[in-house]
Each structure stands twice: as C-alpha cells, then as structure tokens.
Amino acid sequence: MTHSEFAEYLQVQRSAIDRALERSLRVYHGQTLTVFKAMRYGLFPGGKRIRPTLTLAAGEMFGGKQKDLLPFACAVEMIHAYSIIHDDLPAMDDDDLRRGQPTAHKVFGEGMALLAGDGLLTEAFHLISGPQVLRKLPAELVLQLIHELSHAAGIAGLVGGQAVDLEAENQDVDVATVEYIHVRKTGALILAAIRIGAQVAGAKPGDLRRISKFGEYLGLAFQIADDILDALGVTVTGERAESDHNELKKATYPSVVGIVQATERLQELSRQCDRELAPYGNMAERLQAIAEHVVARAIRQREAQ
C-alpha cells in the first residue's frame, strides 16, 4: 500500500465510521439536552478513528462484513471518546485543548463534561446490546464481546491504567510501571478493538491468538510512539496536539529509558507486529499499514531531529 493509498483508505474508513456513529445516535434524534450536545462534541469531529478502523480491518481480514462490524467499531470509539473527556478534566490531566479545540469541560462546564463521558460509556453498551446487532450475530457471541469490551474498559484495563497513571504523576517510576500503565490505559482498548473485529468475523482460535499478539504489540507501540512524539513536541494522532498537560510529570517511556532506547523498543515492537501478520500475506495489508503508520511517524520525527 502506497502512502497515498493508505491515506485514502483511512479517509474512507473514517467516513464510514462517522456515518455509523451518526446512525447509532439517530435514536436520540431531536434530543435537545445539553449533555447530548456535549456527547456529540466529544465524538465529532474526532481524531483519525484509528481504534474503530482497527476493528474494521481485523474483521475484514477474516471475512467479516462492514455492516456487522460497524456497531462494535462505534462502541469502541464511544469508549475512547468518553475516556478522553474524563481524562481532560481538571481532576485528571487538566487539559484546555484537544486536537486544537477547547476540551469538553471548557465548553460545557465540568459537571456536564463528566456526565457526557458517563453517557458515552453507557451508550457504548446500549448500542451493542440492541436489536440491530442481535439480528446479525448470535446472542452468545454478542454477550462475549460485551464482556471483553467491558473488561478492556474497566479496572483490569483502561480505568486501571488511568488510575495508576494518575498515581504515578510526579513520582519516579520504572519501566515496568510505565509498561503496566501503557498496556492498560492505551493497549487494552486497542487489543479489544482488534479482537472484537476478528471475533465478529468468526476468526478461528489460532488466528485469534495470533491477532491478539499483534494487538498487544501494537497497543504498546501506539503509546510509546505517542510518548516519543510528545517528547519531541508533536503527536502521532494529533490527539494531544496543543495539550497543555506538560506541567505535570507523566510516566512516559522516553522519560524513563531515554528517547534512544524508547525508539529501539518501538522498532522492536514494529518487527513483532510484522512477524505476527506475516503468515497472512496480503490479507493483513491494512492492519500492517496501520501498524506501520503508528510507528513510522515517531521514527521519522526522531530521525529528523
């Protein structure tokens, strides 16, 4: 896949995901509550939609249909959007800007932003437990996917990672703690996004194991790349561009092992990602391109400085 083919691919997926997000909120058509506006503000325009794109790519790789995958892709993105709104709150990272725009609590107030996050998290589970999903997939599978997604989002995953990250602020931490945080705070939802896509598509156990390995490596790579770009003053996804949370000392890979070792670790993870996908050849082209995209910008930026 050339660079421009990949850019177009991302754009097409993003449009499909945005349309599906709009459809999933159509049930609230005419809803005039401020909290609904705040939820929409957290969801749109969004970033590059990498997580839901991973759900689609992993699912399509195993023969899944986009229309079956989209509700789960949307639920993953809603959980990501909720986590960003809560993470930006003054009680957490206290960010005024996100992707160059005022954060939700700056626009709607802290209480409303808190509730908008709660609303998005709840809506994720409401969406994938609904009749539209049940018409397409066996109920047992849908339950299993809800169980996995809530595991990834809960204290064994995202919430747990955020909590340890919060406690690590302004503390001296070691590499193990940084990896612990990264694997949960960022990795768990990326892994779930990929595994859910594969399972919707009916991936066999051996394939699911392999793709899960890929997901684990990618999740960690994603956060290390973000850390490196942050340390260099740019970001991999644009998601934290112009954030002002740098007053806090956060637990990051480069801050603990230095930027040289962090870059080496990222390259190692990139090779591990490739190795897991190798057996699938062209079938894995999209997942491979996403992984390359995540890693390459950090490496290029590093080399340019």
**Cβ nearer to its own copies, comparing 24 with 270:** 24
Regarding 200 and contact with its own copies (CB under 8 A), the answer is no
Q: How far is CA 229 from the centre of its chain?
A: 17
CA distance 244 to 33: 30
Rounded to a whole number of angstroms, the minimum distance from the CB of residue 194 to its own copies is 19
Is the CB of residue 49 less than 8 Å from the CB of residue 14?
yes
Number of residues located near its own copies, criterion CB under 8 A: 54
CA distance 191 to 36: 28
Closest to 218 measured CA to CA, from 188, 197, 240:
188
**Cβ nearer to its own copies, comparing 160 with 254:** 160
DSSP notation for 113-127: HHHHHHHHHHHHHHH
CA distance 58 to 283: 10
Binding-site string for its own copies from residue 85 to residue 104, where x marks contact by CB under 8 A and - marks none: -x--xxxx------------
**Cβ nearer to its own copies, comparing 132 with 255:** 132
**Cβ nearer to its own copies, comparing 142 with 225:** 142
Residue 303 CB burial class (10 angstroms; 0-12, 13-18, ≥19): exposed
Regarding 118 and contact with its own copies (CB under 8 A), the answer is yes
Token pair of 82 as six digits: 């909720």
Q: How far is CA 252 from the centre of its chain?
A: 17
In three-state secondary structure terms, 156 is coil
Q: How far is CA 59 from the centre of its chain?
A: 16
* Cross-strand bridge partners of residue 98: 101
Regarding 191 and contact with its own copies (CB under 8 A), the answer is no
Binding-site string for its own copies from residue 138 to residue 177, where x marks contact by CB under 8 A and - marks none: xxx-xxx-xx--xx-xxxx--xx-xxx-xx----------
Regarding 33 and contact with its own copies (CB under 8 A), the answer is yes
Regarding 129 and contact with its own copies (CB under 8 A), the answer is yes
Rounded to a whole number of angstroms, the minimum distance from the CB of residue 86 to its own copies is 6
Closest to 42 measured CA to CA, from 82, 72, 76:
82
Binding-site string for its own copies from residue 52 to residue 91, where x marks contact by CB under 8 A and - marks none: ------------------------------x---x--xxx
**Cβ nearer to its own copies, comparing 72 with 214:** 72
Regarding 130 and contact with its own copies (CB under 8 A), the answer is yes
**Alpha-carbon torsion, ordered 278, 282, 287, 290, to 10 deg:** 100
Rounded to a whole number of angstroms, the minimum distance from the CB of residue 130 to its own copies is 6
Residues within the interface to its own copies (CB under 8 A): 28, 31, 33-36, 39, 82, 86, 89-92, 105, 109-115, 117-119, 121-123, 125-126, 129-131, 134, 138-140, 142-144, 146-147, 150-151, 153-156, 159-160, 162-164, 166-167
